[in-house]
Amino acid sequence: MIRLDNISKQNGHQLLFIEASASLLRGEKAGLVGPNGAGKTTLFRMITGQEEPDEGLVLADRGISIGFFSQDVGEMSGRSAVAEVMDGAGDVSTVASELRALEAAMADPAQADDLDAIIERFGEVQGRFEALGGYALEGKAREVLDGLSFSQEMMDGDVGALSGGWKMRVALARILLMRPDVMLLDEPSNHLDLESLIWLEQFLAGYDGALLMTSHDREFMNRIINKVIEIDAGALTSYSGDYEFYEQQRALNEKQQQAQFERQQAMLAKEIKFIERFKARASHASQVQSRVKKLDKIDRVEPPKRRQSVSFDFPPAPRSGEDVVNLRNVHKRYGSRVIYQGLDLLVRRKERCCVLGVNGAGKSTLLKLVTGTTEPDDGSVALGGSVKMGYFAQHAMELLDGERTVFQALEDAHPRAGQGALRTLAGCFGFTGDDVDKKCRVLSGGEKARLVMAVMLFDPPNFLVLDEPTNHLDIATKEMLIGALSQYEGTMLFVSHDRHFLAALSNRVLELTPEGIHQYGGGYTEYVARTGHEAPGLHV
* C-alpha–C-alpha distance, residues 107 and 118, integer Å: 11
Rounded distance between C-alpha atoms, residue 436 and residue 411, angstroms: 11
Amino acid present at 249: Q
Q: Tell me which long-range contacts 43-46 makes (C-beta under 8 A, separation of at least 24).
A: 43/4, 43/17, 43/231, 44/68, 44/70, 44/184, 44/186, 44/212, 46/4, 46/7, 46/9
The rounded mean pLDDT for the chain is 89
- Sign of the C-alpha dihedral, residues 429, 434, 440, 446? negative
Distances (CA, A) of 239 to 35, 250, 313, 379: 17, 9, 33, 56
- d(Cα 211, Cα 196) in Å, to the nearest integer? 19
Q: Where are the beta strands (DSSP E) in 100-172?
A: none
Q: Using H for helix, E for strand and C for coil, what is the string for 471-531?
A: CCCCHHHHHHHHHHHHCCCCEEEEECCCHHHHHHHCCEEEEEECCEEEEEECHHHHHHHHH
Contacts 24+ apart (CB under 8 A), 72-75: 73/164, 73/167, 73/168, 73/170, 73/171
Look at residue 188 and tell me whether its pLDDT is greater than 50.
Answer: yes
CA quadruple 72, 358, 468, 39: dihedral positive or negative? negative
Query: What mean pLDDT do residues 482-506 have?
Result: 92
pLDDT of residue 170: 94
Phi, psi angles (nearest 5°) of residue 521? -85, 160
Evaluate if residue 495 carries a pLDDT over 90: yes
Q: How many CB atoms lie within 10 A of CB 165?
A: 13
Characterize 68-84 residue by residue with b for buried, 16 or more Cβ atoms within 10 angstroms of its Cβ, and e for exposed.
bbbeeeeebeeebbbbb
Least confident among 227-236, 237-246, 531-540 = 531-540
Give the DSSP H/E element, type plus range, for residue 33: strand 29-33
H/E element, 16: strand 14-24
User: How many residues comprise the chain?
Assistant: 540
Question: Can you tell me whether residue 228 is helix, strand or coil?
Answer: strand
Q: What pLDDT sits at residue 329?
A: 95
Residue 112 has pLDDT above 90, yes or no: no
Q: What is the mean pLDDT of residues 360-370?
A: 91
Q: What is the pLDDT of residue 504?
A: 95
The average pLDDT across 67-79 equals 83
What is the spatial distance between Cα 496 and Cα 282, in angstroms, rounded to a whole number? 74
Q: What's the pLDDT at 540?
A: 42
Non-local (6+) Cβ contacts of 128 within 8 A are 95
Quick check: 178 and 62 in contact, CB under 8 A? no
Question: Average pLDDT of 172-190?
Answer: 92
Reduced to 3 states (helix: H, G, I; strand: E, B; else coil), residue 24 is strand
DSSP string, 249-286: HHHHHHHHHHHHHHHHHHHHHHHHHHHHHHTT-GGGHH
| Mean pLDDT score, 237-262 | 90
What torsion do the CA atoms of 22, 26, 27, 28 make, to the nearest 10 degrees? Answer: 0
Run of H or E including 96: helix 91-106
Which of 329-338, 405-414, 451-460 shows the lowest mean pLDDT across its residues?
451-460
Sheet containing 337-348: which strands, arranged edge to edge? 337-348, 323-334, 378-383
Tell me, what's the pLDDT at 516? 83
For residue 539, pLDDT beyond 70: no
Of residues 14 and 167, more confidently modeled: 167
Q: CA-CA distance, 274 to 303, in Å (whole number)? A: 24
pLDDT of residue 306: 63
**What residues contact 387, with CB distance under 8 A and at least 6 apart?**
320, 321, 324, 325, 462, 463
For residues 359 and 505, the model is more confident at 505
β-strand partners of 380: 328
Cβ contacts of residue 331 below 8 Å, gap of 6+? 340, 341, 342, 343, 376, 377, 378, 379
In 3-state terms, what secondary structure has residue 324? strand
For residue 146, pLDDT beyond 80: yes
Q: Is the pLDDT of residue 538 over 70?
A: no
Q: What is the pLDDT of residues 306-326, one digit of tens each?
A: 665 666 676 788 899 999 999
pLDDT value of residue 25: 94
Strand ranges (E), 158-264: 182-186, 210-214, 227-232, 235-240
> In DSSP terms, which residues pair with 390 in a beta bridge?
464
Residue closest to 192 by CA, chosen among 496, 482, 532, 432: 496
Instruction: Output the pLDDT for position 328.
Output: 96
**CA dist list (Å): 190 to 26, 264, 318:** 26, 45, 35
